[in-house]
Amino acid sequence: MKSNCAVIGDGAWGTALSITLAHKGEKVNLWVRTEKEAEEISERRENVRFLPHFLLPPSVKVTHSLSEALDEVEVVIFAVPAQRLRQNVKLTKGYISHHPFIVSVIKGLELPRARRMSEILLEELGADFEDNISVLSGPTIASEVASGCPSVTMAASRDQATASELARRLSSPQLFVFPCSDVVGVELGGIIKHAVAIACGISDGFSLGNSTKVALITLGLQEMEKLGERMGADYQTFWGFSALGDMITTCFSNLSRNRYVGVELARGKSIRSIRRSIPHTAEGITAIIGAQKLACELQVDLPLTSQIDEVLQGKLSVRHALPSFFVFPPDDGWAKVGKIVEPAITIACGISDGLGWGSNTKAALITLGLQDMARLGEKMGVDHKTFFGFSALSEVITDCFSNLSHNRYVGVELAQGKSIEHIQELLPHITQEIAAITSAQRLAHTLKVDLPLTSQMLKVLEGKLSLRDAILDLLRRGPNLSPHSASCPALQCKS
């Protein structure tokens, strides 16, 4: 029987996608470069080198033959290193006689010209394929996706029908894919986050704490917006899953390769020895060089990206890589709105932790929670950019990842079967936090604004909704930033 999808590249992410698509009923051809690799993975039903401990379902066919891999498939997914995409497209395009969906899941730039992956696909495949090309990007640690942890990502295409259909085709019960029309913004989010994650790894290596990491994430968002503005991206894209969500995951997860690079640099390792120690391609290193080249060409100042670029090139000591101080204006709107929405976000993240889900899920919940704040704040006359600044990010991210957070503890205990009454007996002051969630929902009702995460957490606390259903329903609904849908780059998913 013909396969529905071809995945070109057997790295961790390509393998994880193959597993996920197969579990939802798709027949997948996973293409590898050599016959020996194909035989080894086929016999073991496991990609020992890049994604060990995860078995390939029977409906994943491993092959080194491009003609076999691409035979009348409906979706072609490129999951190869950025520097090899053009070469692989040249190899494959002779076998693509029809017009399938063409997808890049690569978060990088091609050197030396700093070309985005969608640009390479268009250059090599030609204008006839322009409406078929899309990119997939979001907070997706491969092993978490393969293990079934709920995760979200964006499918971006210039063609709205392509984005919506691809989101429908790739979505599964655990991987929620949402359509988007901002290809440049989605790609830039996955590119700039590399520098931020390495900087956060350096911060962790020097034990500088979560406040420093949140400051670095805030700077990263600012750099995305500055570069994105010059390149025609929608700034709201950077407040969604493919930018902010992806940054949170890669900056906090112990499974993040970029964060690992930063930690090892702080420990005194050379970049050469670090690259040798990683079995996977260190995509972030070349992406940072490309991002800095783009910034120079467009005359955009990206201080953080520039600093990390100099560290990687050996021009700057790692001890001088991070800014010596951070200056952010006070966010009065945070005190006005954020304090009554933040408890719901932290409890949701605690539930996710208690259920054993990974950083992909938490990053998505934090992003959705901040969007709740922005929607409520906008109705109350507060600039929604406030809620993607340092004060809001610091409070929310720190609480969601801290073992000392009482609200996170509430979520963890709920996930472990404790009743809210029992938790309140242990921590009487939690009653005030729960009252804040109730107040936020009442205010939202009065102002006629939808706060999905806040509403779901209130239902959980009232015993009206199961924990697992509450989280999965939130992820299934996806981004909902602006009360005016026309201003949001995300399209309505037709799944």
List phi, psi (to 5°) of 139: -80, 90
Neighbours of 191 (CB within 10 A): 28
User: Are 15 and 147 in contact, with CB atoms under 8 Å apart?
Assistant: no
Q: How far apart are CA 451 and CA 320, in angstroms?
A: 42
User: Are 256 and 264 in contact, with CB atoms under 8 Å apart?
Assistant: no
Degrees, nearest 5: CA angle 486-487-489: 90
User: Are 265 and 336 in contact, with CB atoms under 8 Å apart?
Assistant: no
Q: Peptide bond preceding 179: is omega within 30 degrees of 0, i.e. cis?
A: no
**What is the token pair recorded at 259?**
């964060």
Residues 6+ apart with CB under 8 A from 54: 15, 16, 19, 46, 47, 143, 146, 147
List phi, psi (to 5°) of 54: -125, 120
How far from 264 is each of 272, 295, 311, CA to CA, in Å?
11, 27, 13
Q: How far apart are CA 466 and CA 416, in angstroms?
A: 12
Neighbours of 301 (CB within 10 A): 11
User: Are 95 and 70 in contact, with CB atoms under 8 Å apart?
Assistant: yes
User: Are 195 and 309 in contact, with CB atoms under 8 Å apart?
Assistant: yes
Q: Map tokens 């509450």 to a residue.
A: 470
How far from 186 is each of 33, 45, 119, 166, CA to CA, in Å?
29, 33, 13, 15
**What is the token pair recorded at 131?**
């409406």
Upper half-sphere CA count for residue 121 (Cβ side, 13 Å): 27
**What is the token pair recorded at 467?**
């924990």
The DSSP code for 222 is H
Q: Chain-centre distance of CA 274, in angstroms? A: 24
Residues 6+ apart with CB under 8 A from 260: 201, 274, 278
User: Are 337 and 378 in contact, with CB atoms under 8 Å apart?
Assistant: no
**What is the token pair recorded at 163?**
């984005």
Q: How far apart are CA 470 and CA 493, in angstroms?
A: 19
Q: How far apart are CA 284 and CA 198, in angstroms?
A: 8
Catalytic (active site) residue 193: yes
- Of 193, 213, 385, 418, the catalytic one is 193
**What is the token pair recorded at 360?**
């992909």
Active-site residues, by number, are 193
